[in-house]
Structure 1
């Protein structure tokens, strides 16, 4: 099992993300508003956009009508910077519009203020 320190917990506030390297792979480390850390390949499944250039946001609820937006899950969604594809951070990086597609993800553990990812 390969593992690597990718950042310190203090490098990311809740609701932030940053790019790092895991070996030669670019990964995006996300910290949700509840303080949990997640890691994904830093590449959108659509056309390869660097996800760290996007944003962490929320989603609209199914009750939203045209022209009206009801938000939920603030700080749990990664939005691609190129075409707006949205991925659920807490649900294995699954795409909101098509849950059968997901971002390649990494296991994460915290040791002594270090964020460590592994496969």
Structure 2
């Protein structure tokens, strides 16, 4: 099994993300507000932007009206810095606008204070 410690749990507060090397790949390690860790290829599927330059945010609901935004899922969406594409952290990195497209993702486990990414 190919695995590697990419950071410590204390390196990321809930709602934060950071880039880390995993072998020859650069991965984006995310920690959701509930404290869970996730890892994705640190590259947008659209034009390759480094996602760590983007942000973790929420999404608008279908109840939103023009000029009035109803937010949900705070801390569960990665937003690309270049064109605003949004990816669902908790749903395998699936794009919100096109759920059949998703970020390549990696498995993550925590042992003691180590965040370990593996295939």
TM-score > 0.5, shorter chain as reference: yes
Q: CA deviation at 1:33?
A: 0.2
* Secondary structure at 1:10 match in 2: helix
* Secondary structure at 1:90 match in 2: helix
Distance of 1:11 and 1:2 partners within structure 2? 22
Partner in structure 1 of residue 84 of structure 2: 84
Which string of whole-angstrom CA distances, capped at 9 and with x for unpartnered residues, describes residues 35-60 of structure 1?
00000000000000000000000000
What are structure 2's unaligned runs of at least 5 residues? none
* TM-score between both structures, scaled by the size of structure 1: 0.99
Deviating beyond 6 angstroms after TM superposition, the runs of 4 or more aligned structure 1 residues are none
* TM-score between both structures, scaled by the size of structure 2: 0.99
What are structure 1's unaligned runs of at least 5 residues? none
